[in-house]
Amino acid sequence: MFTRAGLLLAWKEIRPYFIFSIMLFFAGMVIGGNPNAPTEFLNDQVSKIASISGSIQQSDTPEMTAFLLITVNNIVASLMAMGMGIIAGLMPIYTLIANGMMVGYLLAGFSASGENVFQLVVKGLLPHGILEMSAVFLACAFGIRFGMTLIGGVFGSAFGKKEPWSPFVRTATGAVPALIVIVSLLLLGAVVESTITYWLMKS
């Protein structure tokens, strides 16, 4: 499981799904930045983010509050996307597109209001976003593969395929070290977001 050969095999099998996850996220960004984006849904998501931001601002220790809220929210969302992917991979696909739409929608809104989007991305997104989104892409990649290998196992068993559940078992085995990577990236991302990003956006 934690051997070099095992980790390399897990990455080889999950890599196409990881790339697909990135593509879904950026497709969501294009949809969210489009004038025909589903604004009612996106505005509802923005209000939830604003609520979290308000809790952080009102706290006596905003950095610690931000770290706790961001960490819990990101870990729960990632683990749900990973585990619930077993249902035909639908949950991680939704997570990727919805998150991409939110980013695209917000960036389009900031641009329309005259904000410096490049500076906003560099200061407000990239420092923590690279870590957090890498974790989300990995979690969703495993979630999608869980769904696909489960379907393959069911149909493979029905049609008498030899060892139809092997891909599913390998995915579950590879998910164990992946969970450690995902949680570590999210924790580090939360630290960066609650400190470096927080300070950069205040300056």
Strand, helix or coil at 159? coil
Angle at 24 between CA 15 and CA 26, to 5 degrees: 110
Q: Which of 52, 29, 53 is nearest to 109 (CA)?
A: 29
- Rounded to two decimals, the pTM is 0.87
What are the b/e assignments for 90-103, b being 16+ CB within 10 Å?
Answer: ebbbebbbbbbbbb
Average pLDDT, the chain: 84
From CA 122, how far away is CA 129, in angstroms rounded? 10
- pLDDT confidence band for 144 (50 / 70 / 90): very high
Report which of residues 70 and 76 the model is more confident about: 76
- pLDDT confidence band for 10 (50 / 70 / 90): confident
CB hemisphere CA count around 176 (13 angstroms): 9
Question: Rg (Cα) of the chain, in Å, rounded?
Answer: 19
> What are 72-119's pLDDT values in tens digits?
888 888 888 888 887 877 889 999 999 899 888 888 888 888 777 777
